[in-house]
């Protein structure tokens, strides 16, 4: 096969409400969508959702690089030769991870569709047929956070991530109220988004010890592996997870060597694609490290790619964090993913099993590019 058409869309989909982290507050999801068409008519979809503070590129940079850097180089290439395409994209732009992930995802979707199998099968097959998801609670007052957590539990969720990072007294009050509301069996994670230093993180962790948390995500700045290792040594009762510290394979190995984390967080958008992330999962597994997979803001295509990737890896723990469709009012696929019960049976495909809704793409669109073979 050869790629004969590259389409790039920028869409802004409203969120259910305003969401706040230590990085930003926003009420819409701005995303990039790629649709590739091969010479036999098979299509493939890719989607990334760059978020300030998480992504190294903005949505504008992603759309620009997709349309001006990568699209011209894609025309005429074989979408099934992922090794060659990844190498070519790395030579064109070594660090445009989000843009490269969108293209690689679309190639995986296209390749799997051409074979009539799911992307999970393309990645080696499923090790689990039902995926459980992790609820997400922003920086809210204690009573609001507790009410929201109880609502997630009543829907069927078994765990939730709670954002922290502005003030440890407020963080403790929020977590205490949530624990009182949901009881001892409900799993709680906290995520500081690199918002604290090591000493403050240690103080917070020790205050929260009686609440029996599942993990503490990215307690310190991304480049402070020594500080994260110190938090881990000082708080053996609370597993530490690296997120912002893990960008590529080299940074994952650096975290492992520093003994800075008990778990690592991975997501194809940040790592540059499904195949790259699958390799990193294998490296973490070899080092005895479990992984959390997924990012909290995202549309259906990216979410489904993460679901299918998560189904293929034994060291990905329950509580996938690809819950973006829970936060968006709408989507740009014909069937919006329903994650409202906290779990989803693994779809069979083919490919990612999703189709673009042309009306929704137009409704929410703010960028449109089409590159055709000559």
Cα separation of 228 and 221, whole Å? 8
Q: Please check whether residue 327 is in contact with residue 352, taking contact to mean a CB–CB distance below 8 angstroms.
A: no
Residues pairing with 266 in the sheet: 293
Of 187, 267, 270, 327, the catalytic one is 267
365 φ/ψ angles, rounded to the nearest 5 degrees: -75, 145
Cα separation of 36 and 79, whole Å? 9
* Helix 97-115 vs helix 300-310: crossing angle, to nearest 10: 70
Give yes or no: 163 in active site. Answer: yes
Give yes or no: 270 in active site. Answer: no
Q: What is the dihedral of CA 113, 119, 125, 128, to 10 degrees?
A: -130
Of 287, 238, 275, 298, give the one whose Cα is nearest residue 13: 298
Q: For residue 24, how far is the Cα from the chain centroid? A: 17
The helix or strand, by DSSP H or E, that contains position 275, with its residue range, turns out to be helix 274-286
The helix or strand, by DSSP H or E, that contains position 349, with its residue range, turns out to be none
The token duo for 124 is 């080696």
178: left (phi over 0), alpha (psi -120 to 50) or beta: alpha
The token duo for 250 is 């080299």
Cα separation of 356 and 28, whole Å? 19
Of 100, 153, 161, 163, the catalytic one is 163
Active site members: 163, 267
């Amino acid at each position: 096969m050869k790629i004969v058409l590259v389409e790039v869309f920028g869409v802004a989909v409203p969120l259910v409400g305003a969401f706040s982290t230590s990085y930003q507050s926003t009420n819409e999801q701005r995303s990039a969508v790629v649709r590739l068409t091969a010479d036999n008519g098979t299509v493939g979809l890719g989607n990334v959702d760059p978020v300030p503070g998480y992504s190294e590129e903005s949505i504008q940079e992603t759309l620009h690089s997709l349309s001006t850097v990568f699209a011209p180089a894609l025309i005429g290439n074989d979408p099934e030769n992922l090794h060659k395409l990844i190498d070519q994209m790395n030579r064109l732009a070594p660090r445009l991870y989000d843009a490269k992930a969108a293209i690689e995802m679309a190639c995986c979707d296209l390749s799997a569709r051409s074979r009539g199998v799911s992307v999970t099968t393309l990645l080696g097959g499923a090790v689990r047929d039902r995926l459980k998801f992790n609820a997400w609670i922003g920086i809210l007052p204690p009573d609001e956070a507790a009410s929201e957590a109880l609502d997630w539990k009543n829907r069927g969720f078994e765990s939730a991530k709670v954002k922290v990072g502005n003030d440890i007294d407020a963080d403790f009050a929020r977590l205490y109220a949530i624990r009182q509301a949901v009881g001892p069996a409900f799993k709680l994670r906290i995520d500081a988004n690199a918002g604290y230093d090591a000493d403050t993180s240690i103080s917070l962790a020790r205050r929260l010890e009686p609440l029996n948390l599942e993990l503490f995500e990215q307690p310190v700045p991304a480049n402070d592996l020594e500080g994260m290792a110190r938090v881990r040594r000082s708080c053996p009762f609370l597993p530490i997870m690296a997120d912002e510290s893990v960008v590529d394979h080299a940074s994952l190995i650096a975290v492992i060597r520093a003994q800075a984390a008990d778990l690592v967080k991975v997501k194809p958008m940040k790592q540059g694609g499904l195949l790259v992330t699958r390799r990193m999962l294998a490296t973490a597994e070899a080092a005895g490290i479990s992984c959390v997979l997924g990012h909290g803001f995202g549309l259906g295509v990216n979410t489904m790619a993460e679901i299918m990737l998560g189904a293929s890896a034994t060291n990905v723990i329950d509580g996938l964090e690809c819950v973006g469709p829970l936060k968006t009012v709408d989507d740009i696929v014909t069937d919006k993913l329903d994650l409202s019960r906290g779990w989803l049976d693994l779809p069979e495909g083919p490919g990612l099993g999703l189709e673009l809704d042309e009306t929704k793409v137009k409704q929410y669109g703010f960028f449109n590019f089409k590159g055709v073979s000559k």
